[in-house]
Structure 1
Amino acid sequence: MKDEELPRRLREAAEAHRPDRARMLARIERGMADGGPAPRSVRPPRAVRPWLRVAGATAAVCGVLAAGAFAVTSAGDDDRARGGPVASAPSPAASTPAARGGLRPEDGPLWTGGVVDPHSNAYWAQSNVTLRTTEPLSALTVELRVALTGGVNSTGSWRSLPEPDFTVSVNESGGYLVYRWTLRAGRSVPAGTHTFAGQYNHAEGDRDATGDYVTARAVRASGGKASVGDYFGRSR
């Protein structure tokens, strides 16, 4: 071989060489198994890292939502399995005396009746309770219940009997505005006809008072108890 041909052949051999990747990886693995230095870890490209964070957060949120949905579904199924009732607020009609057997306006010496005062108007009303007794009373409690229809709120009350003889309260209970007059200990109610009245605002219009009613419980001075009640009609 001529000396001038050697450079050309070396150049051709170099151009024809292709590295054997598999052999190189095998050599690296053998080196690691022999305790050689481990290759440095490669950090993911920056373009990939935000995507990985979003994917991880999405997976976490999905897991929380799935767990919550499972808990709610399980609770509902558990209630149905036990046959647990669904709680609901009682309506005024369900708690009226009609649902408990009705009222009687007269009992022994005691009688009562209720009516909406004719001077009531489209925004305000007064419910009048008449109580009549043929005997003196040593104890008495009168309760006027006005159904909480639109806009009902108390504006006051009064009674024909002496004010110091009674304690008065007004509160909302069971879908009603409740006026309560209670005779004080040591006082008495004479025989005769007496009036108790509750006043209140209401939504504009002719208010239907058919859901309103009055009850009275008394102890006769001569002994024995009496209990009466009555419903209201429409305003008139």
Structure 2
Amino acid sequence: MHEEQLRRELREAGLAHQPDHARMLARVERGLAAPPQASRRARAAVPWTGRRWPVAAAVAVAVAGVVGVGGLAVTTLDRGPAAPASELPAPGPVAAAAGTMDPGSNRWWAQADLAVTTETPVSGLVVDVRVARTAGVVSTGHWRTRPAEDFTVTVTEEPGALVYRWTLRPGRTVPPGRHVFAVQYNHAEGVRDASADTYTVVLTGGDGGGRATLRGGFGAAARAK
């Protein structure tokens, strides 16, 4: 059969063909209802080339990616070295104070005694005694049991009080023990109310470290004779 004749017959057969739509639809329905295949055709094996550098490079890239992520996380969370905890202040000297009216006080004159007791050496000491300016109050003196050359003493007249102050000189110390600071003053005749009189004592430890502050008063009234 010649090639030209074969082509003509195939063309005529194609034009004369009428597809069976019902049969085609039935085949589609059967295909949808059939269970899926149990297995798939295995992938074709990659032929061995004798070189592994592509795999090694992939692994290196993966590792680099993990290390990079980890480093980023550390950098984000790392906020630098922790700040050192604040140092606690050194404890101040162990001491106590008590203010009393001296038994020698009378109807025109009074003495207030302040006893300061220390259990450790003191390298700094400031003692303030404030005598309220009631009627007739005028300073007549003061004294202390420690050496006079160890302290600077001032008496200041303020609108509301007489202020007696002892300040320990630099380089001097106060040893453990009981130390008395006394103030003396005149006042109007009669029993004077001392409830407004106060004291403040500031002590510094023997090593120049911690401080302690003591405050108090001298009772209700001066003893009268």
Q: How many residues in Structure 1 have an aligned counterpart in Structure 2?
A: 130
**Segments of 4+ moved more than 6 angstroms:** none
> How far 1:235 moved relative to its partner?
2.1
Question: SS at 1:164's partner residue?
Answer: helix
Q: CA deviation at 1:174?
A: 4.7
- Counterpart secondary structure, 2:149: helix
Q: SS of 1:229's equivalent?
A: strand
In 2, Cα distance between equivalents of 1:192 and 1:235:
26
Q: What's the offset of the Cα at 1:108?
A: 5.2
Of the three residues 212, 216, 225, the one matched with 1:226 is: 212
CA deviation profile, 1:120-146 (whole Å, cap 9, x unmatched): 000000010010110100000000000
Q: CA RMSD in A?
A: 1.2
Give secondary structure in 1 for the equivalent of 2:185: strand
- What is the alpha-carbon distance in structure 1 between the residues aligned to residue 123 and residue 195 of structure 2? 31
Question: Partner letter of residue 208 of structure 1?
Answer: D
TM-aligned CA distance change 1:192 to 1:176, over 3 Å: same
Q: 1:173: how far off?
A: 2.1
Q: Distance in 1 between matches of 2:133 and 2:139?
A: 11
Aligned to 2:165: 180
DSSP-derived class of the 2:106 partner: coil
Q: What is the match of residue 117 of structure 1?
A: 102
Q: Give the structure 1 partner of residue 114 of structure 2.
A: 129
- Quick one: percent identity of the two aligned structures? 51
Deviates more, 1:215-224 or 1:120-129: 215-224
Contact kept in structure 1, 2:203 and 2:212, CA below 8 Å: yes
Is the 2:95–2:117 contact (alpha carbons within 8 Å) kept by the matching residues of 1? yes
Structure 1 gap ranges (5+): 1-106
Give the structure with the larger helix fraction: 1
Name 2:136's counterpart in structure 1.
151
TM-score with structure 2 length normalisation?
0.56
Q: For residues 191 and 125 of structure 1, do their structure 2 counterparts lie closer, same or farther at Cα, with a shift above 3 Å needed?
A: same
Letter in 1 for 2:210: G
The one of 193, 204, 213 equivalent to 2:198 is 213
- TM-score, normalising length: structure 1: 0.54
Q: Could you tell me which amino acid in structure 2 is paired with residue 156 of structure 1?
A: G
Can you give the 5+ residue segments of structure 2 that lack an aligned partner in the other structure? Answer: 1-91
Amino acid aligned to 1:134: E
Larger of the two Rg values belongs to structure? 2
Match runs of 1:94-109 below 5 Å? 109=94
User: Would the aligned equivalents of 1:152 and 1:200 in 2 still touch at CA under 8 Å?
Assistant: yes
Q: Which residue of 2 aligns with 1:204?
A: 189
